[in-house]
A and B are shown apart, each in its own frame.
Chain A
């Protein structure tokens, strides 16, 4: 095995065997999936069916509320054609079967206010449902009271749908923006991975330097080999962790879907619900949004390309920043001394991160275009544009080429500084000094 292979092997295996790595690698997917299902489970829990008693002394509803043919409605209506006060509702034994009391007394007609008494909190689903049904029923009562025929009223009542179009924009634009948002997830991922793993490279370099083990190693291998070995190994650790996360999340999702929530996970079910709830309320738009997301997720985004690009840009960006962080690590005696040197390296990274959120919905603007070419920002920005599909192949090729050339240059220069830095002790290094070392080596 070549020497760089040995270095990679050691760096990789010690890192992968660390408790923190194992715990984090296993825990994160469990946490992600767990939280997702916890949220769903809480949602279901709230969907408890409620029995609503409508005290209707004036018989406004005619003992009937139109509910359509919905399956599993969140509430069922019962009628009581007399006054009912809250005391009675609370104390009377035969009232225990009802969770909610609604009094349709004459005040309702005058003040247009309905008081709803609940024994305990009702889910927002049930609240929407009850409100919609009774609202509709009362409106029809008022309409008839004013002498309108029910058909006429229903015609008036028909909801007007608003379609918003930006001039020149199409539905495709909307979908594109959503796809870009998916790209943003990758942007954030790359940003975090670069930050976490480049910092690990830096810590590794500092550790070798402070424990003085570095002098023995560089008497066997070239400093450049040591630096590259470390950077590559840590990158591989990152990719390993990423891969395990993806696989574990996938397996856990399938597992939980099969064994715990057999019905909810099916996509048909979410859509049904959306439409059903949306009969009157704004739910209709939600449903449409969900449809668009489904289109984006299942049809629009080209996952294989996106994932390959993610890997390429992750590797490129990581090598670029990893070599800079290794250089910083070599120039200091302890982690606390890194602050001053880190600033110029962290700035472009932070800046790009902020910009990557700001350019949402503007994936082909000038900012996005330029930043997807500049190598210090392209790994974070370009993925959004690739996801949005607003980028030409030549742009990707150009950006990847610039990134490659840049990381070769930075790695070369960082290596020069590194080989001087690792043997330099007790000096507080500044950037000016680093440039001096670069010329000296």
Chain B
């Protein structure tokens, strides 16, 4: 769907994007992650053609992107903003028409969304009369009104209460089902795990991690298993020898404990179970997968992933 090739962007003296290349698939939700100031907004602005790259190219559906493609993109900037003194309907129509919709078309689509969100009573309100969350909803509608093929959402959940966050997630997933490709930039790692199919992590202007959620998690898999057992934790620890390392252990009641064990030297889970079975009664075992939160922090701190030390 979207292909970004070797983008470099420099601002007087510092490099905002250093040779960034990413590809997103049609109909997937792509998470663009990175710490503050990493260069995400710069990249988003280049895709939106608000600014141009110093070198590198952006392709949309295989063609190099041009001004006309702007009507195919919907953009929700991180810093939200609407004309405060303008009425909701007037304003929504204005933005829709700037994206190239005809007046009649824009009206029809506006009605659909306002009825869907049950907010038709806001039509004649000025934006300054709305609460922050209400204005956010309007902004979301404005972003998707022209049915873009590519939707770029920068922190779409900020400013929403849990109920509305949930509503937004549902809407985003629905848009995905309808075939919209979505690029989502957020610091909320939980929502990344919930809805993203692929991610790219940018830090200090460089792309440091890229792939499907599954691939990335696989890469950062640390081969740690959580074993819940009944018996003496002393006995459990003694049963492990040098090929395993006990990362963490926790007593949950008088008899039970959970131990996090890391496999070393090519051992398998079976080996582990064989080793500890004589000592304790095993109740459950499962692999501890790294959360996106862990991965984010580890990647930004310089870990490449895939190295099992």
Contacts and interface: CB of A to CB of B under 8 A. Distances in A.
Nearest to A225: B98
Interface stretch (B44-52, B216-224, B245-253, B258-266): B44-52
A3 interface: yes
Interface in B43-90: 45, 48-51, 67, 70-71, 73, 75, 77, 79-86
Contact of B75 (A10, A212, A219): A219
**Looking at B45, B48, B98, which has the most chain A CB atoms within 10 Å of its CB?**
B98
A214 B99 contact: no
A3 B95 CA distance: 10
A40 interface: no
B81 A215 contact: yes
A223 to B, nearest CB: 8
A440 interface: yes
Interface in B10-35: 11-12
A440 B50 contact: no
Chain A residues touching B, range: 20 to 34
A14 B95 contact: no
B188 to A, nearest CB: 20
A213 B83 contact: yes
Contacts of A218: 50
Given A220-B70, A436-B12, A215 B77 contact: yes
Given A211-B82, A212-B80, A219 B51 contact: no
Nearest to B103: A1
Interface string A205-230: 00010011111111111110000000
Nearest to B152: A219
Contacts of A214: 81
Contact of B86 (A14, A217, A219, A222): A14
A314 B11 CA distance: 38
B50 A215 contact: yes
A215 B79 contact: yes
B98 A6 contact: yes
A61 to B, nearest CB: 76
A338 B264 CA distance: 65
A213 B86 CA distance: 12
Interface in A1-36: 1, 3, 6-7, 10, 14
A91 to B, nearest CB: 71
B50 A3 contact: no
B97 interface: yes
Given A214-B81, A216-B75, A221 B98 contact: yes
B142 interface: yes
B99 A211 contact: no
B94 interface: yes
Given A219-B70, A440-B11, A213 B98 contact: no
A220 B84 contact: no
B101 to A, nearest CB: 11
A423 interface: yes
Contacts of B11: 440
Contacts of A213: 81-83
Contacts of A212: 77, 79-81
Contacts of A221: 98
Contacts of A436: 12
Interface in A163-219: 208, 211-219
Contacts of A419: 51
B97 A6 contact: yes
B217 to A, nearest CB: 33
A6 B94 contact: yes
Contacts of A1: 97
Nearest to B81: A212
Contacts of B79: 212, 215
Interface string B230-265: 000000000000000000000000000000000000
B50 A219 contact: yes
A217 B81 CA distance: 10
Interface in B76-134: 77, 79-86, 94-95, 97-99
Nearest to B13: A436
Interface in A209-266: 211-223
Given A3-B98, A6-B97, A440 B12 contact: yes
A1 B100 CA distance: 9
Contact of B142 (A6, A14, A216, A423): A216
Nearest to B76: A216
Interface of A: 1, 3, 6-7, 10, 14, 208, 211-223, 419, 423, 436, 440
5 contacts: A7-B98, A14-B86, A212-B79, A219-B75, A219-B77
The 10 closest A-B pairs by CB, nearest first: A212-B81, A213-B81, A220-B98, A212-B79, A219-B75, A215-B77, A211-B81, A219-B48, A218-B50, A220-B99
Interface of B: 11-12, 45, 48-51, 67, 70-71, 73, 75, 77, 79-86, 94-95, 97-99, 142
Given A6-B98, A217-B95, A440-B12, 18 more contacts: A6-B94, A10-B94, A14-B83, A14-B86, A208-B83, A211-B82, A211-B83, A214-B81, A215-B75, A215-B77, A215-B81, A216-B75, A216-B142, A217-B98, A219-B48, A219-B49, A219-B77, A423-B50
